[in-house]
Chains A and B, each alone.
Chain A
Amino acid sequence: EDQVTQSPEALRLQEGESSSLNCSYTVSGLRGLFWYRQDPGKGPEFLFTLYSAGEEKEKERLKATLTKKESFLHITAPKPEDSATYLCAVQAGYSTLTFGKGTMLLVSP
């Protein structure tokens, strides 16, 4: 069974304080790893897809990386508007997405 574990469950940062969120996974034959951002009461918003170990993608203050066992979402100099829950999901074989429970990020001014 595919498993996705995200840590920490919650993270509080000061504005400008860089950090990383972790997503570790156990799957047979990873086809893709997805990062989403979710604001309270809203639908998940797509951020990145990573397909193979060593791949990196960037968007504004966010950078996602992938190894054979985990992915990191690095947040550089975060702003209060980066506050949200960040969800990681994996797709293996012909199965559909399996999501982690997310990391709730709060960035204080």
Chain B
Amino acid sequence: DSGVTQTPKHLITATGQRVTLRCSPRSGDLSVYWYQQSLDQGLQFLIQYYNGEERAKGNILERFSAQQFPDLHSELNLSSLELGDSALYFCASSPGTSGTDTQYFGPGTRLTVL
């Protein structure tokens, strides 16, 4: 158990809908990262927040957005969903912003878009 929690575990929805994924980091960690993992693309970095502020952006679509709240939990919002958005979404956390900080991953949310 990494100490990172994610809800829900599974999510099934239809094309065009909007969903929210939630992540609580390990106690004491200020950075939260979101990743998407699909069979053909592997693990792709989406976005990082540090202490409530956006820190780095990766291959995140404009239909996707995220935020980190004062209690440090984070939410990833996915809108206008397409079939290709079906994937595993992982959240990770680390103590700070140093690139050499170890990122600890949550159990993931499996999103299925029908």
Contact = CB atoms under 8 A, between A and B. Distances in A.
Q: For chain B, which range describes its interface: under 10, 10 to 19, 20 to 34, or 35 or more residues?
A: 20 to 34
B97 to A, nearest CB: 8
Given A34-B102, A43-B106, A49-B102, A96 B45 contact: yes
A87 B43 CA distance: 9
Interface residues of A, number: 26
A38 B99 CA distance: 21
A103 to B, nearest CB: 12
Given A42-B107, A43-B107, A44-B43, A95 B102 contact: no
Contacts of A93: 99
A32 B4 CA distance: 22
A42 B102 contact: no
A46 B93 CA distance: 12
A49 to B, nearest CB: 6
Interface in B16-34: 33
A96 to B, nearest CB: 5
A96 B100 contact: no
Interface in A73-106: 87, 89, 91-102
Interface of B: 2, 4, 33, 42-45, 48, 56, 58, 88, 90, 92, 99-100, 102-108, 110
Interface of A: 31-32, 34, 36, 41-46, 49, 51, 87, 89, 91-102
6 contacts: A44-B90, A46-B102, A46-B104, A46-B105, A96-B33, A97-B33
